[in-house]
Amino acid sequence: MPIVELVYDRSCPHAEAARAHLSKAFARAKLTPSWSEYLIGGLTIPRHARGYGSPTILVDGRDVSGAAPGSDTCCRLYKMEDGRLLPIPSVSQITAALVRATGAS
């Protein structure tokens, strides 16, 4: 089972939508939904999850969009396959990361 983490800012208007996309992606990947959540700047945020904007979804410590840490600001943008910029990763991006992590095809 991959380790999935949601990094977010309490004031982020997109955190709830990111949670919904996580749930849908777990269903598509046929996995039981399970993830940890960390507040940006919180005392419990692991070192590998620091420096990402809100919301960020990490699968096995890697950003689902392939971005590197850079700025822990709210709100970040994700580039979609068609070039659009959206405030949360797509269900497809998350599903692909989950599938890669499980080694399923």
Predicted confidence at residue 78, as pLDDT, reads: 85
CA distance 66 to 93: 10
Q: Is pLDDT of 36 > 90?
A: yes
Higher pLDDT, 6 or 81: 6
Q: What does the pLDDT look like over 37-50, one tens digit per residue? A: 999 988 999 999 99
Domain of 36 in residue numbering reads as: 4-102
pLDDT band at 94 (very low <50, low <70, confident <90, very high): very high
Is residue 7 within 8 A of residue 56, CB to CB? The reply is yes
Strand order through the sheet with 4-8:
36-39, 4-8, 56-59, 62-63
CATH of the domain at 26: 3.40.30
* pTM attached to this predicted model: 0.90
Domain count, the chain: 1
The amino acid that residue 3 corresponds to is: I
